[in-house]
Amino acid sequence: MLHEIPMNNVEPRYAELAEKSLAGDLLSPAEMKSVIDGADERLPELLEAAFRVRYHYYGKKVQIHVLMNAKSGLCPEDCGYCSQSSVSDAEIDKYPFLAKEELVNAAVKAREAGAMRFCLVNSGRGPTLKETEKMAEAVAEIKSKVPINICACMGLLTESKARILKDAGVERINHNLNTSSRYHPEVVSTHTYDDRLATLESVKAAGLSTCCGGIIGLGEQDDDVMDLAVSLRALDVDSIPVNFLHAIPGTPMEGRSNLTPQYCLKVLCLFRFVNPSKEIRVAGGREVNLRSLQPLSLYPANSIFVNGYLTTSGQAATDAHRMIEDLGFEIETSEEDELPEQQSIAQ
């Protein structure tokens, strides 16, 4: 029996959206909605169009990042999705800031996993000066021993603390908007969307690269997803992690996730069209939400995390390498590989 694409669907004209995106033009709200509302039968065409944009800027290269909690849990904030928050009963490891030797060893392992960037996280509302200095000390040690780029995620950050981290060798700071300004109060009450914007301003003022994305599946509407994509474009952030809610048992959002793999792929395509030249990373929740369709996410996105997340496990590096190879894509190597003072990570 032959299968036909339903002809009563409005023609998505995805190729035109790719052209518009490559020309630097922002999609209209109706065009963005047409991406999210696109028929599942049209998904291959949508992915093809998003891949045209991704290919223009990144070819078939895939950036691998490794994430690690330098400090875990113990956070006074009430972010509803987070297993480390004060309102979470999730069973997770909780520990104060690790010794720098442990972080150096983890950076070596990240490099061995093919990572071009190691992302160090300090859980909490924002770091104390002492925590900032500890992170700076650890980063300086890593940079002296391991050829890898460093991103730090510290919560709310002032410009002076951002400068301490930059001076130690941090290239980039992650601080997510998470969702739209409208929906943000539904996600957390202990800090505001404007607090998050202020941190991004501090990071930019300190001369650091910005990594800022969001979480899909928090109960927001499609308009909030579109708003987030457009806000990130306006902020001109360098890197966009797109997380899909992994509703961890014990968190207030336990049981909330109703995402489908197809929807996740459409969201990634939307983010690519709206932020054509930016690094787009399929971040937390990739494995549980995209499931067997994970490889398709690399048509719109150009980056992934491997070896797990802050409090949950993830795809092993070897499996990720195989996935990338099977797609005919290639792992992007770090500019740090070119440094003359590079040391063998086998040491």
Residues at the interface with ligand SF4 (CB under 6 A): 75, 77, 79, 82, 84-85, 123-125, 155
The smaller minimum CB distance to ligand SF4, of residues 124 and 314, is found at 124
Return the HEC string of 233-299.
Answer: HHHCCCEEEEEECCCCCCCCCCCCCCCCHHHHHHHHHHHHHHCCCCEEEECCCHHHHHHHHHHHHHC
Closest to ligand SF4 by CB, 12 or 124: 124
Nearest distance from C-beta of residue 287 to ligand SF4, angstroms: 20
Q: How far is the CB of 178 from ligand SF4 (least distance, A)?
A: 8
Q: How far is the CB of 179 from ligand SF4 (least distance, A)?
A: 12
Nearest-angstrom CA–CA distance, 63 and 324: 10
User: Is 35 or 82 the residue whose CB approaches ligand SF4 more closely?
Assistant: 82
What are the Cα distances from residue 128, in Å, to 47, 81, 137? Answer: 44, 24, 14
Sign of CA dihedral 160, 165, 170, 176: negative
Residue linked to tokens 């300190």: 206
Q: How far is the CB of 162 from ligand SF4 (least distance, A)?
A: 17
Question: In the complex, what is the shortest distance from the CB of residue 84 to ligand SF4, in angstroms, rounded to a whole number?
Answer: 4
To the nearest whole angstrom, how small is the minimum distance from the Cβ of residue 12 to ligand SF4?
A: 35
Q: Is 77 or 279 the residue whose CB approaches ligand SF4 more closely? A: 77
Q: Which is nearer to ligand SF4, 200 or 269 (CB)?
A: 200
End-to-end CA, the chain? 61
Cα separation, 289 vs 30, in Å, equals 26
Residue (51 or 97) nearer to ligand SF4, CB: 97
245 within 8 A of 259, measured Cβ to Cβ: yes
